[in-house]
């Protein structure tokens, strides 16, 4: 077996059970390994520490499959890990009956580089690293065995694959495309899912609980949903009895999808919905000039900072959008503001939002910290898994 030898002192992160081994931690490789091959991780004293997937073109040179140095990485290993992940979710009462759910959440489920989202009888699978790319068939087989789904679509087309030296891979890897368009029932609202061409794996499952909170807050309120995509927050606000909902996105196709979603929910009052195709920053500046105000504002922008290297530029964008949000918020109103940028931590994000409130001349308080739902667990030893952070803020 090929051995990955660590530099002195670089074993400490493994003792803390962090699953990433960076390029600068590697002394050398004893033997030869192709991308995705399993290697033994050994410290400079010769102690065997873990078994990991080798990725020679990535700054993350290896991702740990198991901290048991005697673990056998084979088809049975992936069957066990998938079954364990599903069992964790089945034990959570709040996930019961959800048609849309994340089944595998990468490192936090012991499967680095593997994302699997279920939409009814369809799974969308994303493999972002060399290890799972090598074990594709085993992972697909494990998912089919554990769930019995009719089909699996692979959406391994994220930019991070390029950092691994991997080409994009998309297509049906189990079953065939459904005859009808995919959709899920999310807390009483029917929402379309596009696993082939939609964002991420076709939908933003991580915001499910926060969309439900929006519904709970929306009764009788004027709501502004920024970066609305296909309208998940908007439709839940309508379901909660919002007086009006203005939804903005720069993507015409996304707005068309949102309006199609509204049309499939006849119980919702479409006359209370306004859709605006525009740059959100520019649209909010226009609203300010017009003197428009709202009782509840949702800011769920795209990833401004994919890594810490982009944090400064992203911080300015988050400051700008939250400043505009506070200036459009009625006294006593609610701001639900989010960041999905891995390069912006929760502490920094709170400082940015606080700075925006000060510049807007608003006193405000945090009512709740918001995050992804329980189907997106965060391993204690892998804080990088907490990419989505949010705040529910009330302003005077």
What residues act catalytically? 340
Look at residues 303, 300, 294, 351 and name the one whose alpha carbon lies nearest to residue 326: 294
Strand partners, 186: 189
The CA-atom distances, in angstroms, between 156 and each of 58, 136, 160, 172, 338 are 16, 11, 9, 11, 25
CB-count exposure of residue 24 (10 Å: 0-12, 13-18, 19+): exposed
- Looking up tokens 């009814």 gives 120
Decide: 214 and 249 in contact? Cβ < 8 Å. Answer: no
Give the Cα separation of 261 and 204 in Å (integer).
14
In terms of phi and psi (left: phi > 0; alpha: psi -120 to 50; beta: otherwise), the region of 9 is left
Positive or negative, the Cα torsion across 260, 266, 271, 272?
negative
């Amino acid at each position: 077996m090929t051995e990955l030898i660590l530099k002195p002192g670089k074993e400490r992160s493994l003792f803390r059970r962090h699953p990433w081994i960076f390029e600068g931690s590697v002394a050398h490789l004893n033997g030869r390994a192709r991308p995705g091959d399993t290697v033994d991780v050994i410290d400079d004293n010769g102690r065997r520490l873990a078994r990991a997937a080798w990725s020679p073109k990535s700054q993350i040179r290896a991702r740990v499959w198991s901290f048991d140095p005697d673990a056998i990485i084979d088809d049975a290993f992936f069957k066990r890990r998938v079954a364990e992940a599903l069992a964790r979710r089945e034990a959570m009462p709040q996930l019961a009956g959800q048609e849309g759910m994340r089944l595998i959440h990468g490192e936090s489920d012991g499967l680095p580089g593997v994302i699997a989202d279920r939409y009814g009888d369809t799974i969308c699978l994303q493999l972002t690293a060399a290890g799972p790319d090598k074990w594709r068939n085993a992972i697909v087989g494990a998912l089919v065995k554990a769930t019995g789904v009719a089909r699996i679509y692979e959406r391994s087309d994220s930019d991070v694959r390029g950092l691994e030296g991997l080409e994009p891979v998309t297509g049906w890897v189990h079953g065939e495309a459904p005859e009808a368009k995919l959709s899920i029932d999310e807390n009483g609202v029917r929402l379309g899912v596009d696993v082939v061409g939609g964002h991420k794996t076709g939908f933003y499952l991580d915001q499910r609980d926060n969309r439900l909170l929006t519904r709970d807050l929306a009764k009788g309120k004027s709501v502004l949903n920024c970066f609305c995509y296909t309208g998940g927050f908007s439709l839940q606000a309508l379901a909660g009895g919002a007086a009006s909902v203005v939804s903005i996105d720069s993507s015409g196709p996304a707005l068309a999808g949102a309006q199609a979603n509204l049309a499939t929910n006849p119980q919702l009052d479409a006359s209370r919905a306004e859709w605006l195709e525009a740059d959100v920053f520019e649209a909010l500046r226009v609203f300010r000039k017009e003197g428009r105000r709202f009782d509840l504002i949702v800011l769920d922008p795209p990833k401004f900072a994919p890594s810490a290297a982009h944090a400064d530029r992203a911080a300015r964008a988050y400051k700008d959008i939250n400043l505009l949000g506070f200036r459009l918020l009625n006294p006593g109103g609610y701001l639900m503001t989010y960041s999905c940028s891995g390069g912006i931590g929760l502490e920094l994000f709170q400082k940015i939002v606080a700075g925006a409130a000060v510049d807007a001349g608003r006193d405000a308080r945090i009512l709740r910290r918001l995050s992804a739902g329980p189907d997106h667990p965060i391993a204690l030893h892998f804080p990088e898994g907490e990419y989505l952070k949010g705040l529910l803020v009330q302003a005077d």
